[in-house]
Amino acid sequence: MTKVTFKGEAVKMAGMLPVRGAKAPEFSLTNAALEDVGLKNFAGKRKILNIVPSLDTTVCAISARKFDAEVAKLKDVALLTISADLPFASKRFCDAEKLSHVVPLSTFRSPSFGKDYGVRIAAGPLAGLMARSVLVLDASDKVIHAEQVPEITQEPDYAAALKALA
């Protein structure tokens, strides 16, 4: 289990991040059209799960932009940016930033997602939000890359995530 901090202070996490080689747990998250979707909606595609605390923060916005630009160069890759943000706010952000490859998904109806994926912050000022993490799944939803960023205010390792898709 990765030790996670926020501005240097330890953060208590709920659950365990899926490990490389594991089958990713199914989920039900809410998209911008207020529809509940899961991994099955992206069947046959490789997936980047860009899990962030909130798109309304600088580092989360940067990661959405960087992954959007990189996924534009790839085929059959779904970029799922997952946060506790309301679907309206995520859609507004993606529209304003002209992010055409990001599929914003919200955990607001799915409190189990954070625990199932080991990304829910369990205590402290960010309790209930998701800790910055990146999972890359193959077309059969097997984890081929897993990173729980140790310091929430830092960006993920984009190169490592994208290399997993090569």
> Does residue 60 have an active-site annotation?
yes
The answer to whether residue 1 scores a pLDDT higher than 80 is no
- Residue 20: phi, psi to the nearest 5? -55, 130
29 pLDDT tier (thresholds 50, 70, 90): very high
Element holding 105 (H helix, E strand): strand 102-106
As for how many domains the chain has, the answer is 1
Q: What is the pLDDT of residue 49?
A: 98
d(CA 111, CA 23): 20
Catalytic residue among 60, 71, 84, 129: 60
Whether 140 has a pLDDT exceeding 80, the answer reads yes
For residue 137, give the CATH number of its domain: 3.40.30.10
83 within 8 A of 54, measured Cβ to Cβ: yes
Domain of residue 88, residue span: 4-165
Contact assessment for residue 153 and residue 6, using Cβ atoms and an 8 Å cutoff: yes
Per residue in 73-115, pLDDT tens?
999 999 999 999 999 999 999 999 999 999 999 999 998 999 9
Max CA pair span of the chain: 40
